[in-house]
Amino acid sequence: MAKSHAGWASWMRGSVAVCAALLGCMMTGAVAQSSSGAKQASGKLRVFFMDVEGGQSTLFVSPTGSSLLVDTGWADHDGRDANRIVAAAHQAGLKRIDVVLITHFHDDHVGGVPQLLARIPVGEFLDHGPYREQTKDVSGNYAEYLKALEQHHVKRVVMKPGEKLPVPGFEATAVTADWKVIDHPLPGAGQSNPYCANLPKYPHDETENSRSLGMVLQFGKVRIVDLGDLTSDKEVELMCPVNKLGTAQILVVSHHGWYPSSSPALVDALHPRIAIMDNGALKGGSTPTFKTLKADPGLENWWQLHYSMEGGAKWNAPDAYIANLDRAKDPQAKDAGYRIDLTVSRDGSFAVTNQRTGVTKRYAAQ
């Protein structure tokens, strides 16, 4: 019996391998929930865009199972955001999160830290350093953040532009932090930026948004840009007159798609193939940002976590590219919390799955 069972297991392993080779391990929208989930990515980077209703929380999992979480969503809500993060982590086969990057100290990005640490171990936290926005909310958020790290004995590292994030399996570089931008172009960047011409004079931003710890992640031939809530005045400093970031296949739309960010100097110069917006129904998804995305040369699609009530029928992406539609019909409706999931191959191909529909759209390598 033991020999027969071993033969059956061998046959099954071979069948799975053939399936992977012939079908490209086709994704159906459901993510494997076994403890070996980290091994089921077949050499791909997996990214989970959690719906935290207008905040941000994005989980990156390398082919080796190393993990990076960008932001933790809001506090309270009975642990809603922390629960969604942990559910995605478990689906990816993780028992802990190696690194959490906090872009800045606003509620919708750092608020969920205490609840997250109560649910899953974290190796270390990265942030831009002490808060600068002198408001009661920010000072309170910062105090709660430090308290949670101390209680759980978690290491904290202050990042500067140009430094590498300590996550094996992909290369991620901090490009903005504490109101500073990287002082040299990334590999392949450094070209004059034609989209810097005729830009408006953007207002100087003194809030935590402009202090965002932003990163560029490189996995094989794919570059992903996530700048947190960086505002347009700092985007211009990063991209003009020289484009320090180069091009990127995937753009995480800054600031939830809110209008003080996403200048053409950034969006058009990056020349992304897709953009993913972590907006809420009533937060972000501003009409000016939609206009910039729609006019962007080469943008094939943009994806949204929510239908934007401000954008309406004229500016929102087609329903197939929106994870949560509930509040389009009823602003008071309970959020279903559907994610957008991304898988990236080193050859430059990638795929996006709308968890609401279970449908995956694939983008061939170029």
What is the per-residue pLDDT across 283-314, written as a single tens digit (0 to 9) for each? 999 999 999 999 998 999 999 999 999 999 99
pLDDT of residue 332: 73
Assign 219 to helix, strand or coil. Answer: strand
Residue 57 pLDDT exceeds 50: yes
pLDDT digits (tens, 9 = 90+) for 311-361: 999 999 999 999 999 877 777 777 789 999 999 999 999 999 999 999 999
Q: Which residues contact 192 (CB under 8 A, 6 or more apart)?
A: 241, 242, 243
Task: Report yes or no on 11 lying in a domain.
Answer: no
Contact 29, 355 (CB under 8 A): yes
Task: Report yes or no on 213 lying in a domain.
Answer: yes
Task: Report yes or no on 1 lying in a domain.
Answer: no
Distance of alpha carbon 265 from alpha carbon 289, whole angstroms:
13
Secondary structure of 131-200 in HEC code, one letter for each residue: CCCCCHHHHHHHHHHHHHHHHCCCEEEECCCCCECCCCCCEEEEEEECCEECCCCCCCCCCECHHHCCCC
pLDDT of residue 31: 33
Across the chain, mean pLDDT equals 90
Name residue 214's beta-bridge partners: 176
Residue closest to 214 by CA, chosen among 147, 148, 262: 262
Distance of alpha carbon 354 from alpha carbon 230, whole angstroms:
26
Residue 20 pLDDT exceeds 50: no
pLDDT of residue 19: 35
Q: 132 or 163: whose pLDDT is higher? A: 163
pLDDT of residue 357: 95
pLDDT of residue 327: 76
Contact 78, 39 (CB under 8 A): no
% of the chain beyond a pLDDT of 70: 89
Largest CA distance in the chain: 76
**Which range (26-40, 95-109, 142-156) has the least confidence?**
26-40
Contact 20, 39 (CB under 8 A): no
DSSP designation for 318: P
Q: Which residues contact 121 (CB under 8 A, 6 or more apart)?
A: 95, 96, 97
pLDDT of residue 353: 98
Residue 355 domain boundaries: 34-363
pLDDT digits (tens, 9 = 90+) for 219-263: 999 999 999 999 999 999 999 999 999 999 999 999 999 999 999
pLDDT of residue 22: 36
pLDDT of residue 39: 46
**Which range (3-17, 45-59, 212-226) has the least confidence?**
3-17
pLDDT of residue 328: 75
Task: Report yes or no on 219 lying in a domain.
Answer: yes
Burial of residue 315, with CB atoms counted within 10 A of its CB: 0-12 exposed, 13-18 middle, 19 or more buried: middle
The arithmetic mean of pLDDT across residues 194-215, rounded, is 96
Residue 262: count of CB within 10 angstroms of its CB: 29
Task: Report yes or no on 341 lying in a domain.
Answer: yes
Residue 136 pLDDT exceeds 90: yes
Task: Report yes or no on 25 lying in a domain.
Answer: no
Centroid of chain to Cα 284: 15
The model's confidence at residue 27, banded by pLDDT at 50, 70 and 90, is very low
Q: Which residues contact 209 (CB under 8 A, 6 or more apart)?
A: 104, 106, 228, 229, 230, 231, 255, 260, 261
CATH number, domain containing residue 125: 3.60.15.10
Residue 37 pLDDT exceeds 80: no
pLDDT of residue 329: 76
Residue 41 pLDDT exceeds 70: no
Q: 171 or 31: whose pLDDT is higher? A: 171
How many domains, in total, are found in the chain?
1
Residue closest to 208 by CA, chosen among 106, 140, 299: 106
Residue 10 pLDDT exceeds 80: no
Task: Report yes or no on 168 lying in a domain.
Answer: yes
Query: Cα dihedral angle (178, 180, 184, 186), rounded to 10 degrees?
Result: 50
Instruction: Order across the sheet with 97-101: list the strands.
Output: 155-158, 122-127, 97-101, 67-70, 58-61, 45-49, 340-344, 350-354, 359-363
pLDDT of residue 15: 42
Q: Which residues contact 25 (CB under 8 A, 6 or more apart)?
A: 19, 42
pLDDT of residue 7: 42
Task: Report yes or no on 221 lying in a domain.
Answer: yes
pLDDT of residue 45: 98
Residue closest to 111 by CA, chosen among 132, 88, 85: 85
Alpha helices, DSSP H only, in the chain?
2-23, 80-91, 107-110, 113-117, 136-151, 232-239, 264-270, 287-295, 312-315, 326-329
pLDDT of residue 335: 78
Contact 292, 265 (CB under 8 A): no
The arithmetic mean of pLDDT across residues 163-182, rounded, is 97
